[in-house]
């Protein structure tokens, strides 16, 4: 009986040691931990450009972009900074951040209406400003064995932008002798459409604000091919509400009866869009580094 009791204790001890060993972080042959642990910070980015570069080196620089450019749900898009903070070995807080803006100053030379020489030119100018801010956060759970970990959870995001803010200035002025001055007409991308006499021209466009809010459950997988470095992919199902504010466009024209330049303003409607869809079916991949 005593021997049986000791055998049971020995078996329990072996089992406890095995469980304890499983709880310890998996290490490589150099003793480095493969998996991230509580307190680690992760930074992720789109892996497609890197994989495309590697692929291009083997096939004569053919553009390998089949997997697409979008790493995140479309509301967040490719340029969002993606980070994680490991609350535990199997749970993390996810964070997304984007702060973007650009300013374009475009000039185009047109004939000077006050001169008779084709070599006399004046400059029309267009300034375009865009801004976008995205913030997201969520909770991620993890499970699995070996180097493969399944990930699942949910996140919420909010975005705000002021796109297509435009200011125009013209070298040729309106007047009694020039009620239709030669002016540049730009398209939506800032390309020159024409340089013709015009009785009315745009002087400003205040693009409507864009507001987005949504939630996104997700599920995916990470494979750790090196200590604390993984490659993975995930699918999401998101619902988002988008509000597109009223844009205001102002035009100027010459009123011959008074000899004054008058302004006319027109406004667009406010639009609302609610979208529900899955994302990442193009198979985009991400790289994660944990520190």
Please give the residue that has the higher pLDDT: either 16 or 25. Answer: 25
Please give the residue that has the higher pLDDT: either 51 or 211. Answer: 211
Query: pLDDT band at residue 25, thresholds of 50, 70 and 90?
Result: low
Query: pLDDT band at residue 30, thresholds of 50, 70 and 90?
Result: confident
Domain layout of the chain by residue ranges: 41-290
| Residue 244: both structure tokens together | 């597109």
Three-class SS string for 98-124? EEEEEEEEEEEEEECCCCCCCCCEEEE
Q: Alpha-carbon distance 66 to 104, whole Å?
A: 31
What contacts 3, CB < 8 A, 6 or more positions away?
none
Distances (CA, A) of 28 to 33, 133, 146, 150, 223: 7, 41, 11, 20, 14
- Residue 253's Cβ-side half-sphere holds a number of Cα atoms within 13 Å equal to 10
Q: Give the pLDDT confidence score for residue 48 in this predicted structure.
A: 60
What number is the average pLDDT over the span 272-289?
Answer: 80
Q: What is the tens place of the pLDDT at every residue in 184-220?
A: 999 988 899 999 999 999 999 998 999 999 999 999 9
- Residue 72's Cβ-side half-sphere holds a number of Cα atoms within 13 Å equal to 25
Q: Alpha-carbon distance 35 to 33, whole Å?
A: 6
Q: Give the pLDDT confidence score for residue 281 in this predicted structure.
A: 54
Query: pLDDT band at residue 67, thresholds of 50, 70 and 90?
Result: very low
pTM, two decimals, is 0.72
Terminal alpha carbon distance of the chain: 52
What number is the average pLDDT over the span 235-256?
Answer: 93
Q: What is the tens place of the pLDDT at every residue in 114-131?
A: 998 888 999 999 999 999
Q: What DSSP character marks residue 27?
A: B
Q: Give the pLDDT confidence score for residue 49 in this predicted structure.
A: 52
Q: Residue 10 pLDDT > 50, yes or no? A: no
């Amino acid at each position: 009986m005593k021997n049986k009791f000791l055998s049971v204790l020995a078996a329990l001890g072996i089992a406890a040691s095995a469980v304890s060993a499983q709880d310890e972080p998996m290490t490589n042959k150099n003793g480095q931990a493969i998996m991230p642990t509580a307190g680690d910070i992760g930074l992720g980015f789109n892996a497609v450009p890197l994989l495309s570069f590697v692929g291009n080196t083997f096939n004569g620089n053919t553009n390998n972009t089949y997997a697409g450019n979008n790493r995140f749900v479309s509301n967040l898009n490719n340029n969002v900074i993606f980070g994680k903070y490991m609350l535990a070995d199997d749970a993390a807080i996810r964070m997304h951040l984007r702060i973007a803006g650009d300013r374009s100053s475009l000039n185009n030379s047109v004939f000077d209406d006050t001169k008779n020489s084709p070599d006399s030119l004046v400059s029309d100018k267009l300034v375009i400003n865009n801004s976008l801010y995205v913030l997201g956060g969520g909770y991620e759970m993890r499970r699995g064995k070996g180097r493969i970990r399944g990930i699942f959870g949910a996140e919420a995001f909010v975005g705000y932008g002021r796109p297509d803010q435009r200011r125009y200035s013209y070298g040729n002025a309106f007047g009694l002798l020039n009620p239709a001055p030669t002016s540049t007409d730009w398209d939506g991308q800032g390309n020159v459409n024409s340089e013709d006499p015009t009785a009315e021209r745009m002087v400003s466009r205040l693009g409507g604000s864009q507001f987005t809010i949504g939630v996104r459950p997700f599920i995916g997988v990470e494979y750790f091919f090196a200590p604390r470095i993984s490659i993975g992919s995930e699918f999401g199902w998101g619902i988002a509400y988008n509000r597109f504010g009223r844009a205001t466009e102002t035009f100027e024209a010459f009123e011959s009866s008074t000899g004054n330049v008058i302004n006319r303003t027109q406004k667009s409607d406010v639009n609302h869009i609610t979208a529900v869809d899955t994302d990442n079916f193009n198979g985009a991949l991400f790289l994660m580094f944990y520190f």
